[in-house]
């Protein structure tokens, strides 16, 4: 007869949760690292994987709408959602370079919006610095830097878009590290 408490039957829910969070942290960390090292290739690979996932999910929704939920009011919705997912995934798989260019152009467009905001903010800082007699230098320098950053982003939106991808990569890395630390914390609670 075995003594109580000497043998564990399996992992607790908290241990499983900690392992899942840790694994997610490692994956986020690796994805962020790839975004920093090879942003265009990582975006291309992500688009390919997302395209495959959309096609598979679309086929499953289509099957569910046509056969499992046939005759219900929900069936039409599932069929439409399935078709949309299949078409979107098919586009991603058929012309991944165009989709990648679209993603980078979207980040470039975001860079243009940020450029306008930076220029306006920089001009405001310069106006504030010129109006105040005391402590002019810091707002003046900040304003000039914002205007220069805004002009760079305005005239180089694709480079700025790729830079934004790298910044997102840094945030994803930090998020991955935080998840791994949280996983260790969950493990310490057991």
pLDDT tens digits for 148-187? 877 777 777 777 777 778 888 899 999 999 999 998 888 7
Q: Residue 66 in contact with residue 79, Cβ under 8 Å?
A: yes
pLDDT at 120: 82
Domain of 90 in residue numbering reads as: 13-189
- Assigned domain for 7 exists: no
- Assigned domain for 134 exists: yes
What are the φ and ψ backbone dihedral angles of 70, each rounded to 5 degrees?
A: -60, 135
Number of domains composing the chain? 1
Q: For residue 12, what are its two tokens?
A: 């607790």
Q: What are the tens digits of pLDDT across the range 19-58?
A: 888 999 999 999 999 988 988 788 888 889 999 999 999 9
Reported as a pLDDT band with limits 50, 70 and 90, residue 188 is: confident
Name which of 84, 83, 96 is nearest 49 in CA terms. Answer: 96
Name which of 102, 58, 60 is nearest 84 in CA terms. Answer: 58
Q: What is the pTM of this model?
A: 0.58
Give CA–CA dist 187/26, Å, rounded. 16
How far is C-alpha 30 from the geometric centre of its chain's CA atoms? 13
How many percent of the chain have pLDDT more than 70? 91
């Amino acid at each position: 007869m075995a003594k109580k408490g000497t043998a564990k039957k399996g992992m607790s829910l908290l241990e499983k949760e900690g392992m899942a969070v840790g694994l997610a942290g490692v994956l986020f960390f690796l994805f962020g690292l790839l975004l920093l090292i090879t942003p265009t290739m990582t975006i291309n690979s992500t688009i390919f994987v997302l395209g495959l996932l959309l096609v598979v999910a679309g086929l499953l929704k289509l099957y569910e709408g046509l056969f499992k939920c046939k005759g219900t009011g929900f069936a039409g919705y599932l069929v439409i959602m399935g078709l949309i997912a299949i078409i979107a995934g098919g586009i991603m798989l058929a012309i991944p370079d165009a989709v990648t260019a679209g993603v980078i152009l979207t980040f470039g467009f975001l860079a243009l919006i940020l450029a306008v905001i930076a220029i306006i903010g920089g001009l405001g800082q310069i106006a504030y610095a010129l109006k105040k007699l005391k402590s002019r230098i810091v707002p003046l320098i900040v304003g000039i830097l914002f205007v220069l950053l805004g002009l760079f982003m305005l005239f180089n939106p694709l480079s700025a878009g790729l830079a934004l991808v790298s910044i997102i990569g840094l945030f994803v890395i930090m998020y991955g590290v935080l998840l791994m630390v949280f996983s260790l914390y969950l493990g310490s609670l057991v």
